Structure formats: C-alpha cells, structure tokens
Structure 1
C-alpha cells in the first residue's frame, strides 16, 4: 500500500453518440473526508453512487466533484411514431369515405401532427451507466495522482529523517567529550578561585553536571520515533494522523534536548532538529 497525498486533480472527458461528458475531481488537505458535488440537475440521481465510490476510494481530504454533460440535441435523428401515424390515416380515410368532398390526405400535414414525428428519445439509464464508467476512470486517475504526490512527500520526509539520524548520532558520539569538558571547566574555575573541595564533594558536583547533561534517553526516543515514522511511511495507507502525532513526539524530545544543552553546539543541534521536524510536519499535513 502506498502513502497518498490529499492534494490531487483529475480530468476525464469522454465522447458518446449522444454527446460528451467531462468529469473533474479536485482535492486538498482536510481533517476528514468532505465531499461536494456540482452536477447538472438532470443527473443529480448519480450523487449517492458517487458518494459511495469516493468513500471506498478515499480516506481524507476536501473533495470537489464536477460533471459537465453536453447532449447533441441539434444532431438528433427524427423518429416516426408509426402507430400514431396509422391511427390518423385510418381516421382520415374513414372520414373521406363518409364525406364525398373531403380533401385528400396531405402527408406533410400528417407529419406535422403532434407526436407523429419526434426527436429520437435518449436512454437515460444507459447514459447514467456510461457517466458512472467515466467517473470511475476519473477517480482512478485521481487516486493515481494522490499516490504519485504521496511518494514524493515520503521521499522529502525520508531525507529529513536521514538528517535527524545523523544529528542524533553526532550528539551521541560527542556527549562523553562534552561531559569531560564540563568536568575540566569546573576544576579550572575552582583553581582560579583557589577553592579546594573535598574530592567526594567534587565528584558529586561533577556527577550532577553529568546527570543534567545526560540526554541518552532523549536520543534513544528520537531514534525510536524516527524508526516508527519510517515504518509508517513504508506501510502506506491512511497514515497522516499517525505521522502528525509522531511529529509532536519528535518535537517534544527536541525541546527537552534543547533544555538540557550545556554547550552551544548541543543547542544548535537541537535547533536544527526542530527545523527538520517542522519541515516534515508541514509536508505531513498533505498526507491522507
């Protein structure tokens, strides 16, 4: 299953003996699935079938479905109502036999009689079936567009996940050196102040600094969340809400990392993480 975007467009035009039909499907991101229809009054009866098809094919998004139908009214063939014409002829012949001076039957007058010659009727059920077939083609095109957009979004998100993993690994590798530097800095300051601390007290202070600077738990959670985002993307389907929740969790760990930073390098790394997470969150708003 593929990760899909909620932003897509489809245009499907078909020509038939009776005319032409054009379907357009547009969708943008939305918290739920919201459907709206612009249909000719004569084809409003199609809406329930369209709703069912859209609900089966789509999970989220604000979707607008529009149909334009053009009938070839000017090119319709005329159809002779043989039954009515025969009845009129029989009545005219009977009248002529009853009235000696009755005028002869005029064929052109007969054809002008209401109902004798009419435009060939259009099979509404057949047209409805063809319109629904055209809609299914438009929906398939729309879904394919969503999947292409979703694949591109997944690629952008994966790039940022890779960058996050690099930053996390870099911070993890530098933490022992950062703690050591803080220890030396404390000892140097005490030496400058000519203050002597009990070795046990000094070790306790150093341990406290190390504890405050310890971000192993946050780094582990960042790694875990990154793996989960990758898993959700690879699984596909309607995953936008799950991914949005994971962005909140990633941002929470980045904020904690920033609050525990004891050197500017760690602070900068936390800022970079938050920028990457925000970029992913913006992309995820478009994922179904």
Structure 2
C-alpha cells in the first residue's frame, strides 16, 4: 500500500430499532496513534470498537471518533412525574384561591418542564445489543472513509516528496562538482597563511600543522557520500509499502546533519550557497514528512 497522510475525515449514518445516528471520524498529524471517542450516554462500549478499529487501520495520528444518536419519540415510553406536577399545583394554589389566575388546563400542566419524562430504562437488552452492533458497524465504515481520505493525501504528498528528494540529490551533485575545485582555493589560502606564518618566523612543524588543519576542514567527500546514500534511502522508502513516516523523519535529521557539516567545511562562497540551498530544501522536505503516517 502506498504512503498515507495523517489528515482526513470519514462519515457514516445508520438507523435501527427507532434509533438514528451519525458517526464522524477525523484525524490530524501526531507522532503516535491517539484515539479519542465521544458517544451517546448508555453506549460506552462503543469506545472499544472505535479504538480497536483505529488500531487495525492506522499507526500514527490524533484521531477523534464521535457518535451522535437520537431515539425517536415513538420508541421511548413516557411517564408523568406526579411529584413535579404536585409541586406546580401547590405553588399555584394561593394565586387561584384569591382569583389572580385561572385554574390551569391539562395541556398547560403537561407542557411544564419536568412533568413529562421519557423512560429509557425499559430498553430491551437484546435490542440494545443490536443497536450497539449496528453503531459499531457504522464506526467501521467511517474509519474506512477516513483511511481512504488519508491515502488520497498520501498520493498527493508522494509527488511533492519525490520532487524534493530529487532536488536534494541535484544539489548534492552540484556540491560535489564545486568541492572538486576546493583544492585550488585551499592552496591559495594556505599560501597566504604561509606568508603570515613566515613573517612570524614559523617553524616547519607549525606550517605542516596549519596545512593539515586546512585540509581536514575542507574535505567534504564523506558528507557528500552520505548525502548520496540518504537520497537513495529516501527514494526506497517512498517506493515501499506501509507506514514510513518515522523513518523519513529520522532520515531528514541525517540530511540536515550532513548539510550543516558541508556548510561549516566549505572554503568557497559558491559551495556555501549550494549548502544553504540544500538546507532550505531539506527543511521543506521535513515539513512535508510531518504529514506522512
């Protein structure tokens, strides 16, 4: 399976036994897999379905799975809260006795807050289990939709990442060509340094030390070889299946380490400019890698 992103959205709806519901699953970038669930009261067991479903499909990302549900009025029995009704009548009795208000009508009393209550306690356990199973199936559908959205994001990212890796490879090639011309620059700089040291009556040992130090500082062959190896590794990861985001993130750190060393060792302005361009491209690559699962 090609690479996946970590941002996406999935939705599913369902109905059963007088219940209707909607499931929404969304995710954003995250170093690890974190799942948060929000569901209707009385259906806490759905949390497990959401977490296990997410773990089966994803390895990274911050996921939120939400279920909103409603039971139709005809599916729930109702009762009159007599105690609450008596309280309203007792409060209004003095006003009716002195004629300040008319006796209330039945529909008026029943419309008062708390007089009519829905009784959900009588939901049959078998029906409850059927509704939960149907909701869990909708959660799976929403998670499948989220996975598809993340794969679409991965497809879009793939072209961008390939282009950035190619750019890194091109810049490393330019750096290699420029580094080949560094010996001449080192020679000129060493000759100038030699004249300075000669003016100080420098010993031959001191001169040799200076030459060795300049040669070591200017040698970037090792960094260029590692950059080439990292480019090949990045292309291999982008062509592989599964979650490669963590490995790409680590590889980006290695890219930047070599680019920093290249700039610090550079003895030529042109090579330094390429090194800075290389660092900027690697940073852009790093930002995109943060979106890869």
Measured against the shorter chain, the TM-score band is 0.7 to 0.9
Which residue does 2:154 correspond to in 1?
Answer: 150
SS in 2 for 1:3: coil
8 Å Cα contact 1:7-1:146 kept in structure 2: yes
Which residue does 2:268 correspond to in 1?
Answer: 263
Which residue does 1:111 correspond to in 2?
Answer: none
Change (3 A) 1:259 1:189: closer
Q: Are 1:68 and 2:68 an aligned pair?
A: yes
Which residue does 1:129 correspond to in 2?
Answer: 133
8 Å Cα contact 1:183-1:206 kept in structure 2: no
Which residue does 1:277 correspond to in 2?
Answer: 282
Which residue does 2:240 correspond to in 1?
Answer: 235
Separation in structure 1 between the aligned mates of residue 76 and residue 10 of structure 2, nearest angstrom: 34
SS in 1 for 2:182: helix
Q: Superposition pairs for residues 244-263 of structure 1, below 5 Å?
A: 244-263=249-268
RMSD over aligned CA atoms reads: 3.4
Separation in structure 1 between the aligned mates of residue 9 and residue 242 of structure 2, nearest angstrom: 19
Task: Choose which of 226, 230, 240 in structure 1 pairs with 2:231.
Answer: 226
Separation in structure 2 between the aligned mates of residue 208 and residue 73 of structure 1, nearest angstrom: 86
Greater Rg over alpha carbons, structure: 1
Give unmatched runs, 5+ long, in structure 1: 79-118, 196-200
Q: Superposition pairs for residues 74-89 of structure 1, below 5 Å?
A: 74=74, 76=75
SS in 1 for 2:43: helix
Return the offset for 1:61: 1.5
Which string of whole-angstrom CA distances, capped at 9 and with x for unpartnered residues, describes residues 145-189 of structure 1?
Answer: 111112222322221111111111112123223323443565689
Which residue does 2:145 correspond to in 1?
Answer: 141
8 Å Cα contact 1:4-1:236 kept in structure 2: no
SS in 2 for 1:42: coil
Which residue does 2:203 correspond to in 1?
Answer: none
Q: Are 1:11 and 2:16 an aligned pair?
A: no
Separation in structure 2 between the aligned mates of residue 13 and residue 169 of structure 1, nearest angstrom: 54
Change (3 A) 1:120 1:153: closer
Change (3 A) 1:247 1:183: same
Q: Are 1:216 and 2:221 an aligned pair?
A: yes
Separation in structure 2 between the aligned mates of residue 223 and residue 61 of structure 1, nearest angstrom: 31
SS in 1 for 2:42: helix
**TM-score, normalised by the number of residues in structure 1:** 0.73
Give unmatched runs, 5+ long, in structure 2: 78-121, 200-205
SS in 2 for 1:70: strand
- Structure 1 runs, 4 residues or longer, greater than 4 Å off: 119-122, 184-191, 201-211
Q: Are 1:164 and 2:168 an aligned pair?
A: yes
Q: Are 1:45 and 2:50 an aligned pair?
A: no
SS in 2 for 1:44: coil
8 Å Cα contact 1:14-1:134 kept in structure 2: yes
